[in-house]
Copies of this chain bind each other. A is one copy, B any other.
Amino acid sequence: MSRYERTCLIRGDGGRAIRGILDRIANKWTLLVVATLHEQRMRFGELQQRIPGVSQRMLSLTLRHLERDGLVSRTAYPEVPPRVEYELTDVGRTLIDPAVRLAEWAVEHNPDIDRSRRSYDEHRPPEPDR
C-alpha cells in the first residue's frame, strides 16, 4: 500500500469514515467498556466495579450507544432482583484489534510526547501572571 493510498483511507470522503468511528470511540468510556467486556460477558454492576471512576449514568449511556451500534448485546433476565448481562457482538470483537494497535502506539510514544511537551512549555512559558 503506497503512502498516498494509506492517507486516502483516512482522508477519503473528506474524512467522514474516520470521523464516524472516532465519534463513536473517542469518548471517555467506550474503549474501556469494550476492552473489559472482551474478557468475558458481564453484568452492569460488575462492569462498574471493573471500570474505576465511571458513573452509573455514563456507563448506562455508553452501553446504550454500543448496543445501538450493534457492538454490544444486552440480555435482561426476568428475575427479581433484575439481572442484565452485556456481551460483545462479533462486530464488537473486531474493534479490539485496531484499538490495541492504538494503545500500543500510545504506550510506546507517550514518553516522547511528554518530553516534547515539557520542552515546548519550557520555551514558551504560559501566562506568568494572572
Contact = CB atoms under 8 A, between A and B. Distances in A.
A82 interface: no
Contacts of A120: 67-68, 70
A41 interface: no
B91 A113 contact: yes
Interface in A106-126: 106-107, 109-110, 112-113, 115-117, 120-121
A38 interface: yes
Contacts of A107: 9, 12, 17
SS class of chain A's interface: helix, strand, loop or mixed?
helix
A102 B38 contact: no
29 contacts: A3-B38, A4-B39, A6-B38, A6-B96, A7-B39, A10-B31, A10-B34, A10-B103, A15-B35, A17-B103, A17-B106, A17-B110, A20-B106, A20-B110, A21-B103, A22-B25, A22-B26, A24-B113, A26-B26, A68-B121, A69-B116, A70-B112, A70-B116, A70-B120, A91-B109, A91-B116, A94-B109, A97-B101, A102-B102
